[in-house]
Amino acid sequence: MTSPPRTPGRSPGEAGRVARLGLAKLYVVTPDLPPDRVVDLATAAVRGGADIIQLRHKTLPRGELLTLARRLRELIRAALFVVNDHVDIAVLSGADGVHLGPDDLSIGAARRVGGDRLLIGASASTAETARAAVAEGADYIGCGATFTTPVKGEKKVPVFAIGGIDESNVQQLTAIGLHRACVIRAVAEARDPEQATRRLRAMLTT
């Protein structure tokens, strides 16, 4: 039996995460809800076909956030699991990655803490900041201001458009060749989060 192809510098398991990231279309971020509701929402999103789930919670104390991250890690296997902001919580919970904003730990520092085991995503609002993040080692980019400055071309790393994306406008992305999107309210505020996720995922693949 032949061994699976390896991404240089990464173990087979790590290379597998990179490969799954490359295939990802729909990235769902959790809102600031009570932990049980976050778990229910994430579970529904995974059932609906979300490729990535990000735990983003700005109000939970760190100990409770770690507990929630560990709960989600146990539940989320069909999708990649990412923790927002906190590299230590991503590592301690066994998450697949961490997402960093402009005011968070630098990508280089996050890589020193998490090693190559963690996927590292970065937020970028301009092409310049996106290129800088890629040069520093980001595995993917979350691009804001989607409908004012559309990002074209996803050659180096995956680019997920974010900013007011829902079923009413996602086709504006696919029309210009973007097939990766990050959503919060489009799933979290849907009457049926699982079905909303399934519809969005299907729209991004057409």
Is residue 101 in some structural domain?
yes
pTM of the entire structure?
A: 0.88
Asked if residue 167 belongs to a domain, the reply is yes
Check residue 151 and give its pLDDT: 43
Within 8 A by CB and 6+ apart from 74, the residues are none
pLDDT for 168 equals 94
The domain that holds 41 is classified in CATH as: 3.20.20.70
Say what the pLDDT of residue 206 is: 72
pLDDT at residue 122, rounded to an integer = 96
Query: Closest by alpha carbon to 99, among 140, 39, 153?
Result: 140
Position 7 in a domain: no
- Cα–Cα distances (Å) from 135 to 108, 122, 128, in that order, read 10, 12, 11
Domain residues for 158? 12-204
Burial tier of 140 (Cβ tally within 10 Å: 0-12, 13-18, 19+) = buried
Q: What are the pLDDT tens digits along the chain (206 aa)? A: 333 343 445 555 577 899 999 999 999 999 999 999 999 999 999 999 999 999 999 999 999 999 999 999 999 999 999 999 999 999 999 999 999 998 888 999 999 999 888 999 999 988 888 889 999 999 999 986 454 344 444 448 999 999 899 999 999 889 988 899 999 999 999 999 999 999 999 999 97
Residue 83 resides in a domain: yes
In a domain, 35, yes or no: yes
> What total number of domains does the chain contain?
1
Does residue 6 form part of some domain? no
Asked if 116 and 9 count as a contact pair (C-beta separation under 8 A), the reply is yes
Within a domain: 119: yes
In-domain check, residue 133: yes
DSSP 3-state assignment of 182?
Answer: strand
